[in-house]
Structure 1
Amino acid sequence: MFLLRIALKNTFRKARRSLLTAVSVFVGVFMMLLGLSFVDALDSSVIRGQIRSDTGHFRIMSKGYLEAEEENEQGPLVEGWEKVKAPLGETSGVQLHPRLSFPAELSNGTDGLHARAVGIEPETYLAAFELPVIRSAPVPPEQTPVWVGAGLAEALKLEPGSSATLLARTRFGAYTAEEFVVAGIIRSSNAAVDTSTFFLPLKKAQQLMDAQDAVSEVVGLLPRDAMAMDLQARHAALLGGQGLVMQTWKERAAPVLGVNQSKRQSLDALVLVIMLVAASSIANTLVMSAFERLREIGTYRALGLQTERVAAMLMVEAAVIGLMGALGGSLLGCAVIQGMSKGVDISQMAASSNFSVSMSTMLYVDLSFSRVASAFATGLIVAALAALYPAIKFSRLSPMEAMKR
């Protein structure tokens, strides 16, 4: 208690200097807690966007399709997609959805935009992939409906009930065009879907593409995310024998998650620099404080205070400074994260920057106890390490030497 009382007295003897020193720890802990939590939220947003409103837990396609897709071409199709039902049907809870995707231009009669057309079975697909229709209009039986992403519809000034024209090339290279009626506007909370995708009935898409019963891919949903990797391992050989490949959500999201990992590493480097500044500041503060109190330290030593007790006194002073900064940074970080736990809508930013990454535009930042504890402990450890040099240096002063200075 004696050491703690003396340490507190010395810390707040120069309260302004101590608080300014604690600020560097505060900033480092706050940025570590909030920044890494935000990057984790980006990861979750990418995974959620991929699975829930785009490619599902896995997708099955012909070999060579991925390469063509990267070049924004239609690529080889899956002929007779029902043949994948038998092997995958053994998995409990699996849902299979065929679709035919191709690049196209959607026009309102005056202006046109390049977009991604997706032929689907709307009765099941829209609900399964969480693609809510926010506005709709009845379509006469003799006309073909189309569902347009909200961002794309806004850019083309399309409303439910208005006409839209599709321009595309068939699988054999011939040009084709078809007029549709907008049956609904979709807002999916997925930037890529909302800004550049529209949906039409699968049968009509196959007719336009001269695809007969072929599809681009078969996408699947599973009860649990981790099941996709197990499913791929069990059926890779069988699908490969049929000229097919399976891509899981993890593989699909890997490039974007890799970018997020780079952001995490950059953030770690920034926090490290801030913590080094904090450590330097704490060490400098303790050295200045000790020099100002050399006679006092010498008196303690003359009265019999052991070397390790003097070192402990300086370490406690550093711990108090580190505790103030770490506690303040943790509390503010927790408050900000808690405020974002209900979701941060980045749809406007996604629309203005023309997002092409398939990710949810709602970011949910979770408050993780382990992350809070890690950030808090980091602040204390930095303070303790920074105090080692001045604690060792001044604790070794003899009473006579300290009194002379």
Structure 2
Amino acid sequence: MSGGVYGGDEVGALVFDIGSYTVRAGYAGEDCPKADFPTVIGVTLDREDGSTPMETDGDKPSKQSGTTYFIDTNQLRVPRESMEVMSPLKNGMKLMFEHYNIPAFFLCKSAVLSAFANGRSTGLVLDSGATHTTAIPVHDGYVLQQGIVKSPLAGDFMSMQCRELFQELNVEIIPPYMIASKDGVREGSPASWKKKEKLPQVTRSWHNYMCNCVIQDFQASVLQVSDSPYDEQVAAQMPTVHYELPNGYNCDFGAERLKIPEGLFDPSNAKGLSGNTMLGVGHVVTTSVGMCDIDIRPGLYGSVVVTGGNTLIQGFTDRLNRELSQKTPPSMRLKLIANNTTVERRFSAWIGGSILASLVFNLYHSSFLRERCPSHTDGI
């Protein structure tokens, strides 16, 4: 490394990238995170004293109790007598400074970090993850808020489409934890398997999570984005992919593997979305650039950074490049930046954070330092 960049052990900084699908964590200065685990939280039932294990500090029960309500993944911030509405930033900093006694704390936009990881301070970051696909313009290391465009067509949307496909095939998704043994069956025949005896009682949400893991493996193994708009005749001639579910059901998938991800680029082709106003991936990018100042548009088109686990679907970048080439004004030069390796594509924001945190001068002069916050988070 260069003279201004140090290894993770010398810097002593931890980098966390908390996404909607997984959490990435590791040491600054390293090439990839040490840990990558699902963003899934289990909450136990309330105790008799009204607290939960997650609400306690040692043996002392928390004063706050009651029910926390959510819409989708967004917590309802409705004040009640027994609950104070708190800022996530204020809460997070208070926890870091007062509970963990860290010397410095720094937050950065993931789009900026993804741009840094690809050697860019200006560009358009297209991040397609589990819950949404977002185009985020970055100029000189700052996010241009007015140009952010978000679409709900992403990994979870495709998971829903895959579930509907199996429902049409009359195939039940059986997670591995339920299966004691299975017998080989012919292609397309009903599965023959034996259920485990004395299965532990699990919650419906945990069972659904395990089913989702099966669906996500199917997505990664089978789906492919067509290099041109979906055509029934062309799709019928594409090679099939054989896939076997944990319970032994197996089948060759052909046109379906192209039709499901087609909804990302052309929402009108997605089941249940006809007549909607959602934007496909290509329109998300061009709309975002169009909402920015005309003087910086060449820099955005010239550095379109593709990141997020959803972009690893076979054919995604080729189709995106084809669509943007048709939509980009002739006076603009289009350049798509998409790392070929899975690690760099999935973990680009974390890698950018690792690079930034390893620059000790920036870390200690741009962070929220404990010494600069004598009252900690009161003023935030």
Normalising by structure 2, we get a TM-score of: 0.22
Whose radius of gyration is greater, 1 or 2? 1
Comparing both chains, which one has the higher relative contact order based on Cα–Cα distances under 8 Å and sequence gaps of 6 or more?
A: 1
TM-score (norm 1): 0.21
